[in-house]
Structure 1
Amino acid sequence: RDYAGAMRAAAATLAGEEAELAAAAARKGNALLEVLVAQANDEEAEDPPPSAFKEPLRAFRLALKLQPGHPEAKKGAADLDELLEHISVFEQRPKPNHKLPYDVVIVGAGAAGVGVALTLTKTFGLDPKRVVLVERGDRPGETFRRWPKEMRFISPSFNHQGWSGSFDLNSVMFGTSPAHTLGAEHPSGEDYAFYLGALAHAGDLNIMAKTEVTGVRSRTRNSGFWVDVAPRPGTEEEGAEPMEPLRARYVIWAAGEFQYPKPTDAADEMFPGEALCRHNSSVRSWKEMSGDDYVVIGGYESGMDAAFNLAACGKKCTVAASTRCWTTTTDDPSTELAPYTVQRINEALEMPTPPRLLAPLRVTKVEEAKGGAKGFLVHATWGEAEDDEGSFVSKRRVTEEEKGEDEPGEEGTEIVLRTPQPPILCTGFEGSVSLGVASALFEYGNDQACNAHAPVLTDTDQSTITPGLFLVGSLVQHGELSFCFVYKFRQRFGVVANAIAQGLGYDTRDSVQEARQIDMFMDDFTNCQGACGETC
């Protein structure tokens, strides 16, 4: 039987039906819009109420959903945008159902904070004056400005929105594209911070910059929060009065993780001598670092980024990784190296100073060299040899045939690596939740679970022990699913915004529909692939 032919015929039939439905939806939208425009232009008639414009909006959105780029729907939507430039299509906002000055306080004005604020105010219609973002940096995107100068986004930016049902992987707001704004496929941190700042300005977001959150206090159940704030250290004005707490019905924690590396104090150190190392998040430029011979502890994206940039700067480097991440392939792109990273590592292996890749190694101790010698000794133990049998082999992979990877030693034997400079720690981040002032307001996964030490959340990304406190961004995790990239965690913005807007008395039906249509409302994980790992 010709199953393939039947499938092609069915696909063609469905495509034809979708095109017909899209055309019908566009015609309906234009017909409705024509009536409303005539009414608006009639000086003797009352202007149509804002709610009347929802019907043509729904029709145009349906047409564009069925057939992205449909010309009539695009033109109708553009005409509607022009007509409504000074008219809000939201119903009149409900009066506040609480007596607090703010509806929402958002901690952090990075990708997650700016993105969820725009979803709340632009998609769900909250009053921007009653949504405040607290940012300890000088302006939005402070974390990205702290990236090493050479660091780049590993997920590519491409402005394909007009030709597909999706949009730029690194965008936090539908209708925007870092690729378009910045002219870069893999933006730098400084570039991406500019993009976030432009969004915040265009969205008229209410941001308190140079402000530190010093405490989050939950009042009695369902009655809001007091968020204690203070000027960021070093920015205080002499003689200024202490800042009053921000009082809000809801709090969204969006502070991220890059500024919160895993602690190196003796009580929590991964191995003796960890405090002698330097975390990769403290590097401002690989090129400007003194010395030309390094040991990198840890693999995956952080370790491979360090290895590539050190090699590109003509510096020697040895990577001690617990797994051969450069050969790992999984169903979840969060748990294998990005194609961009594999490409760069392959380039590094062809450079005059290629990185030396060692795995599986477990670092057991770091100590200063003895006997008058300068530098550091990194002690590590070989683990069990990893079997690649059954894994998908592709041209993307860096294999043992590539120069740069040493054959692993016998399991249990020790190797000592010498380096003149402090070893570079690329072992991940603890995150702002467990290290921040709201740590006691969340509960965490147990040591045996896949989400070990991750905040445990409800199905609306709310704390399970503190109602009204939400989490957005790269620290969100549900079971084996990690939302550690922008294109993942942005899909939960609509879920959080809907829970908050409903709690404030808003009718969110149209807003939810809009968020779903632009892939910003993921409440069904059945099509998501997850994998436990130490990569994010």
Structure 2
Amino acid sequence: MQRLDAAVVGAGAAGIGMALALQKVPGLKFGVLEAGRVGESFRRWPAQARFITPSFHSNPFGLADLNAVNEPSSPAIHTGAEHPSGPQYAEYLSFIARGHELPVATDCKVAAVGAVPGGGFILDTPRGRLQAGFLIWATGEFQFPDLAPFPGAQWCPHYAQVADWTRFQASRYTVIGGYESGVDAAVNLAGLGREVRLLARKSTWDPQGSHDPSLSLSPYSRQRLYQAIDTGRLEIVFGVDVIGLTRDAAGGFRIHAGDGRYWDEKAAPILGTGFLKGGGARQVAELWDWDEDGRVVLSDADESTITPGLFLAGPQVRQEQRIYCFIYKFRQRYALIARRIGLCLDRDTTALETGAGAWGPFGNSECCEGCEC
């Protein structure tokens, strides 16, 4: 049985970034296990999807590219794009993994995880069993969409299941959900000449609302939304809580709202309703504690509160009111986890002490509403 000090599950932005941090701990034996390819979730984005956070090579002036997984690199340089596509970003991650010679095992899906009494984990993989002293779960959320937000949702394609919006050939569609994925679906369909109705509980782009893009629509999406509205092909209906979808004898669909309103469509509505709370952490749900809202409970070091040695990395990390759902947010947790593991193994973690300004002049590790940045 192969033995590692630490195993990382998932080779997306969180997994590759964590591997780079672990690599800074001398003598640490670690590996990354990926069910598909490096950056698999990004490779599954709709063809028209783009990063909402801009990439820019500001590194020489002490500002790391917002989408970089380590301080020196820049997706803007590698992809030549300010708003990279999913496949472009996946190639950036692959480039980083190759350049740093990270020990990544692709096509290596973890089938089962067991916590060992006294510490450590046993992982079942296609390449045999693996024992790890520490386990970092970094499987993200995109591959874990919420497919059942209301009865009848099984007839609806979810944003995460869409390969290319040009395949949607009906003359009109209804999109359910008013945050990033719902707005992106509506904007792309309107751009292709389709008539689109967007059903949203509330506006996520209110200028008087939160400025945190974890809670409100990003400037990039707002700009594109306003342009789509100007075409006259996008109608937005607010105050809609969809509670069900039914089909009629002719194969059409009726969308039911909680206040009694309804809308009839010939084409199945599109779900822009987000992802499961906890995302990929639900693959090992029994190893985490969950709060009343269905989210993972973590220590201040992003460690499971019921399974010592198990850490969560990526967009599902939350600490009190801080939501780390963007790369530029959760990448600031890499060193924290790597340092905790290194210290537990009595290893030198000096290389992880990069200073408060590693990701920018403010070193915004506590970034939230009202912070100095």
TM-score normalised by length of structure 2: 0.93
- Per the alignment, residue 487 of structure 1 pairs with 328
**Residues 312 and 107 (structure 1), Cα distance of their counterparts in 2 relative to 1, 3 Å cut:** same
Deviation larger for 353-362 or 188-197: 353-362
1:79-478 map, 5 Å: 101-121=3-23, 123-127=24-28, 130-137=29-36, 139-163=37-61, 165-221=62-118, 223-230=119-126, 243-264=127-148, 270-327=149-206, 329-351=209-231, 354-370=233-249, 373-381=250-258, 412=259, 414-430=260-276, 431-436=278-283, 438-446=284-292, 452-478=293-319
* Letter of the 2:123 counterpart: V
Contact kept? 1:376, 1:418, Cα under 8 Å: yes
**1:124 Cα shift?**
2.9
**1:512 Cα shift?**
3.6
- Choose between structure 1 and 2: higher helix proportion: 1
**Residues 177 and 354 (structure 1), Cα distance of their counterparts in 2 relative to 1, 3 Å cut:** same
**1:336 Cα shift?**
1.1
**1:143 Cα shift?**
0.5
Aligned residues with identical type, % of pairs: 39
* Letter of the 1:258 counterpart: F
CA distance in 2: counterparts of 1:355 and 1:498, whole angstroms:
49
Pick from 363, 368, 372: which aligns with 1:528?
Answer: 368
**1:227 Cα shift?**
0.9
Secondary structure at the aligned position of 2:111 is classed as: strand
Q: Deviations over 1:237-266 (max 9, x none)?
A: xxxxxx3211111100000000001142xx
**1:504 Cα shift?**
1.6
CA distance in 2: counterparts of 1:522 and 1:228, whole angstroms:
39
Secondary structure at the aligned position of 1:197 is classed as: helix
Deviation larger for 99-108 or 487-496: 99-108
Flag the structure with larger Rg. Answer: 1
CA distance in 2: counterparts of 1:225 and 1:515, whole angstroms:
32
**1:113 Cα shift?**
0.1
CA distance in 2: counterparts of 1:337 and 1:177, whole angstroms:
24
**Residues 216 and 515 (structure 1), Cα distance of their counterparts in 2 relative to 1, 3 Å cut:** farther
Contact kept? 1:276, 1:367, Cα under 8 Å: no
* Letter of the 1:322 counterpart: R
**1:204 Cα shift?**
0.4
CA distance in 2: counterparts of 1:523 and 1:466, whole angstroms:
29
Q: Which has the higher contact order (CA 8 A, sep 6+)?
A: 2
Q: What is the alpha-carbon root mean square deviation over aligned residues?
A: 2.0
- Per the alignment, residue 514 of structure 1 pairs with 354
Contact kept? 2:26, 2:348, Cα under 8 Å: no
CA distance in 2: counterparts of 1:161 and 1:171, whole angstroms:
10
Secondary structure at the aligned position of 1:361 is classed as: coil
Q: Deviations over 1:164-185 (max 9, x none)?
A: x321000001100000111100
Secondary structure at the aligned position of 2:5 is classed as: strand
- Choose between structure 1 and 2: higher strand proportion: 2
Contact kept? 1:157, 1:186, Cα under 8 Å: yes
Secondary structure at the aligned position of 1:470 is classed as: strand
Secondary structure at the aligned position of 2:315 is classed as: coil
**Residues 495 and 523 (structure 1), Cα distance of their counterparts in 2 relative to 1, 3 Å cut:** farther
TM-score normalised by length of structure 1: 0.66
CA distance in 1: counterparts of 2:317 and 2:75, whole angstroms:
23
CA distance in 2: counterparts of 1:435 and 1:357, whole angstroms:
33
Contact kept? 2:144, 2:280, Cα under 8 Å: no
Aligned residues: 367
